[in-house]
Amino acid sequence: MNVTNLIAVVGITIVLSVAGAFAQQRRDQAPAPPPAAAEPAHNVENGKKLFEKYGCSDCHGLLGQGAPTSGPRIAPNPLPLAAFTRYVRAPRLQMPPYTAKVMSDQELADVRAYLATVPKPAPANVIVP
């Protein structure tokens, strides 16, 4: 290896080392992601009672299955808790708002937990006795 090639290799090695150190320093200085918001504990039984108590079942059906003339299907697979809470607090169309004065965040978490436990319906091609 001649001197010119050796100088080039050493130069490239130095540049890569400095770039790697700079990148590591930037990673070390990057702010840590914020901790995930703690979700309230879920009480499925309480959620089922609240679903009926607050009249949710009147429009959405006892199992959240929905009805063509009242409320849409909301179970199984309800919205994630944050989106569920946001919608219930400020709904569109005919649903009344359930503000924090009416239902607490804990109560909404319980209702959502209940809806998440509703089993999926049988496929349309299966006859259930």
Which tens digits make up the pLDDT trace of 93-129? Answer: 889 999 999 999 999 999 999 999 999 988 888 787 7
Global confidence as pTM: 0.66
Residue 68, pLDDT > 80, answer yes
Q: Are 88 and 94 in contact (CB under 8 A)?
A: no
CATH number for the domain formed by residue range(s) 44-117: 1.10.760.10
Residue 79, pLDDT > 80, answer yes
CA distance from start to end of the chain: 85
Residue 55, pLDDT > 90, answer yes
Q: Are 50 and 110 in contact (CB under 8 A)?
A: yes
